[in-house]
Chains A and B, each alone.
Chain A
Amino acid sequence: MRKKNTFSPFLILTLILITSALLSIAVGSVFIPLPTLWEVVTSALRGTATALDADGVYLKILGDLRLPRMLMLTLVGAALAGSGGAYQGLFRNPLADPFLIGVSSGAGLGAVLAMLARSPHTQSGLLSVPLAAFCGAMLTVLIVTLLARVGRTVPTTNLILAGVAVSSFASAVTSALMIHSTGELRRALVWLMGGAIMTGWSPVLAVLPFMLIALTGLVLIGHPLNVLQFGEEQALQLGIRVQRARWVTIALATLATAAAVAFAGIIGFVGLVVPHIIRLLWGSDYRRLIPLSMLGGASLLLLTDMAARSLIAPQEIPVGIITALLGAPFFLWVLKLSKAQNYW
């Protein structure tokens, strides 16, 4: 929270995000060079055909596949990193991540249940897995918070412990279900490793309202989170309605995470590491940390997804594996580089 220059971090990260987004729609099993990309997009916008894309294949790849995937990844990355930053601030715990209070295990259980139901491959059938995952995540967090409640307050320790216990239980149920469902095992496993990014426009449209509410809300709660860094008692003495701030933060971060997980599977590491990188580079004022984390998280996910699609093309590696493979060394490099002793 020391750096004064608030302009440049936003500028830098926005440029990185734009670059990542462009790369993300250019790179894939079919590489579309940037000039061609420009030509195809502008001519499509003008409503004319271009010689570079006579049969309209590029336009189809861009419009039907890469553009919605890019938007989905941007939203998911922003949601995971933004809610990770919020959870770390709320629990004042550097190890807090978006999955801390049961979002991932609940979503996993919901998703596996939906897969076992073998929903038909219609549009609504395809959306049943993300919707079940979303409901599972929200339900689990609700159960965790109700269990952790003491009177009208929810002590942090209780919340984390209840989260761990309920998560273990839900994960055990998920594993048990998977043992008895040989055919669906692979699909569920891929989902749990973050390899289930939904493509096409209808998932993007389905997730958009949740994301807009959650991301906007998370950007706006930076100040109460700053005050909460002094502990709950001091925050109350400084005039913050601590319980309300806490509920709002949990609700927003859970909404963002559940929406992300539902449409992309469980992608670890982004929510844990991106806020720390931002903190190391630009300090821990939550009013900046959260929006900057969102920009960084979106970029990281776009870049890792590109790697996931191209490393052993045409096969796809679940992006969750790549985020950890690339994210961990990068984080350690930043940690080493900064030499910060008291950045947390």
Chain B
Amino acid sequence: MLEVNTISAGYNHKPILENISLQLAEGSVLALIGPNGSGKTTFIRAISGVLPLRAGSVKVAGQDINSISPQQRARIIAVVPQARSFPAAFSAEEVVALGRTPYLNWLGKVIVNDMVIIEDALEKMDLLALRSRAVSELSGGEQQRLFLARALAQGSPLLLMDEPTTHLDLQYQVSLMQRIHQLAHPSKEELKNGMQPKTVVIAIHDLNLISRYADRVGLLVGGRLAALGKPEEVINADLLSSAYNLPLEVIHERGFTLVMPSHPPERIN
């Protein structure tokens, strides 16, 4: 589904990403982890086609994303942005409806088929009751669901998310990760109803959540892919300690995998 071939990218004269290659199969969740400044956001921007590549190529569903129009790209890649820049006065439903943009002409006229998809996206994200509320009146968790619903309305096979759980409390973090997992792994019933499993790339800081909800984990350090594999392979004390420049321990307890700093920080009295 997603093929990233030796890409390099950066801003002005500053290279950020170097020689990154990875492949992701349909219906899987890739969690991108790494310290601040390691290039997670740049990677998301580069594979969404917003940031031009210096070298390499990105293919989604067999198409080179930099040789197709923004409209065609928006049909195969949907991005849930990190910086939530939105018009405060738009209603939830109107925001989700704009997810249909890649299928509309300049006038933006939606047809019945679009409305069905918008309705479905609102329902999947439990937003039906909030549909006519202004975006600015929604809580952080609701806004995050709203932007995920807009991305779903795009009907793309690939979803990119940049730190969607930031600013969310624990309940919303878990609920959001569950939803993301379900999108990549639909139930038998959903598959029977024609739902295509989504492929998801998610940049995230929470190392404890990903071991439960991600299928693959990529560790970015200094713009390079330091490790890529199953969660149990990458969530590894040695790898993470050197990546984060901090002694870390990985604790396996009652089926959970927890990452904690080795030494409790000294209390300041």
Contact = CB atoms under 8 A, between A and B. Distances in A.
B102 A238 contact: yes
Contacts of A222: 107-108
B89 interface: yes
Interface centre among B72, B79, B89, B104 (most CB of A within 10 A): B89
Contacts of A343: 88-89
Interface in A72-125: none
A226 B101 CA distance: 10
A344 B215 CA distance: 41
A1 B73 CA distance: 27
A237 B99 CA distance: 10
Contact of A227 (B69, B72, B85, B98): B98
B86 A223 contact: no
Interface string A235-260: 01111111000000000000000000
Interface size of A as a range: 20 to 34
Interface in B98-113: 98-99, 101-102, 104, 106-108
Given A236-B50, A240-B70, A229 B86 contact: yes
Nearest to A244: B70
Interface centre among A236, A238, A284, A344 (most CB of B within 10 A): A238
Contacts of B78: 237
Contacts of A241: 69-71
B221 to A, nearest CB: 25
Given A221-B106, A223-B108, A237 B74 contact: yes
A224 B94 contact: no
Interface centre among B69, B74, B137, B154 (most CB of A within 10 A): B74
Nearest to A92: B87
B75 interface: yes
A283 B50 contact: no
Contacts of A285: 94
Nearest to B45: A233
A239 B87 contact: no
B144 to A, nearest CB: 15
Interface of A: 1-2, 220-224, 226-227, 229-231, 233-234, 236-242, 279, 283-285, 287, 341-344
Interface in B25-82: 45, 48-50, 69-75, 77-79, 81
Interface of B: 45, 48-50, 69-75, 77-79, 81, 83, 85-91, 94, 98-99, 101-102, 104, 106-108, 132, 134, 136-137, 154
Interface centre among A236, A237, A344 (most CB of B within 10 A): A237
A227 B101 contact: yes
Nearest to A283: B89
Contacts of A223: 101, 104, 106-108
Given A2-B132, A220-B107, A223-B108, A237 B89 contact: no
Contact of A234 (B81, B89, B104): B81
A36 to B, nearest CB: 44
A241 B73 CA distance: 11
Contacts of A283: 89
What 4 pairs between A and B have smallest CB-CB spacing?
A: A223-B108, A239-B74, A239-B102, A229-B87
A223 B91 CA distance: 15
Given A222-B108, A238-B74, A233 B50 contact: yes
B174 to A, nearest CB: 26
A2 B79 CA distance: 25
Interface centre among A226, A239, A287 (most CB of B within 10 A): A239
Given A223-B106, A233-B50, A237-B49, 20 more contacts: A2-B89, A2-B134, A221-B106, A223-B101, A223-B104, A226-B87, A227-B101, A229-B90, A230-B81, A230-B85, A230-B87, A234-B85, A236-B49, A236-B50, A237-B77, A239-B75, A241-B71, A287-B108, A342-B89, A342-B136
A238 B101 contact: yes
A283 to B, nearest CB: 6
Contacts of A221: 106
Contacts of B94: 1, 285
A230 B86 contact: yes
A226 B98 contact: yes
Contact of A224 (B45, B73, B79, B106): B106
Contacts of B90: 1, 226, 229, 284
